[in-house]
Structure 1
Amino acid sequence: MDNLSTLENIKLAINPKFQDWVLFKNDTYIIFDDITTIENVQDEAIKLMKEFGPVFAGGTAGDFSVIHLNSTEGWLVSGHGYGMYTYVHPTELDNEVPNDLEIGLLGRSKRNSDGENPEIVHINSSSDS
């Protein structure tokens, strides 16, 4: 296992062309294409997380895809919200060789936690660069 923090792993997981994103407590983040059109990034991120984060049985919120990362350890789990991904680190899973279903279910669960109780832990902005 590497010694990178979760934030460092997430920064490595995001395509560098995307500089505007908001990270929530349970490792779900939302990428914004054009932050200049958003009046309050925190408010917009929380609104999107409340809308697309919670998982409801039988709905599209339960659907997910797993993205295997090349630039760092772990995976990204995408859902039905545009630009919304949840980072899953290998140490979060009991299985040393997890399958996509195990990874996806954990990521979906983490996204659900962020959706039910959205707490922003980091805002990355191109204007900070």
Structure 2
Amino acid sequence: MMATVDTDILIAAWRRILDGAEKPWVLFEHGTCVLLEEPTGAPAEQATEILREFGPVQVATSAGDFRVLELKNGEGWLVTSHHPDVVTFVATAEPDDPSHLAVGMLGRAKRDQDGTELRVAHVEDAP
């Protein structure tokens, strides 16, 4: 069984990860973050539209692809997607199996869930 990570921990993790990015970002309920490289209008609305299109997983398409990046601070991994600005955080406490395949599959599942439920947990506007 996988552990869940509360919203405050996710927000703090993404703030550390994106420190100095100076771009707005939107965190969704299960840990997927959309970094708005070209912000236009309300961040939550823009990020929701991006995640609606690029969040749901479609196996055997680029939407099923991912890459796992291990964070140097040991707090977890980032799981990329087929959209460069859509990334999911997986904390070290979450997966039962810490292999990159298992972490990637978990991150992809979390992105799929965020992309279908579309529940914004936090908006961080650019400074």
- What TM-score range do you get, normalising by the shorter chain? 0.7 to 0.9
Compare CA radii of gyration and give the structure with the larger one.
1
* Structure 1 spans left out of the alignment, 5+ residues: none
Contact 2:43 2:125 in 1 (8 A): no
* Structure 2 spans left out of the alignment, 5+ residues: 1-7
- Which aligned segments of 4 or more residues in structure 1 are displaced greater than 6 angstroms? none
Over 3 Å counting, the alpha-carbon distance change for 1:10 and 1:104 in structure 2 is same
Q: Normalising by structure 1, report the TM-score.
A: 0.86
SS at match of 1:126: coil
The reply on whether 1:47 has 2:35 as its aligned counterpart is no
Q: How many matched pairs?
A: 120
Over 3 Å counting, the alpha-carbon distance change for 1:61 and 1:18 in structure 2 is farther
The reply on whether 1:117 has 2:121 as its aligned counterpart is no
Query: Which residue of structure 2 aligns with residue 93 of structure 1?
Result: 95
Query: Which residue of structure 2 aligns with residue 25 of structure 1?
Result: 29
Q: Normalising by structure 2, report the TM-score.
A: 0.87
Query: Which residue of structure 1 aligns with residue 85 of structure 2?
Result: 83
Letter in 2 for 1:93: P
Q: Please say which of residues 12-21 and 115-124 is displaced more in the overlay.
A: 12-21
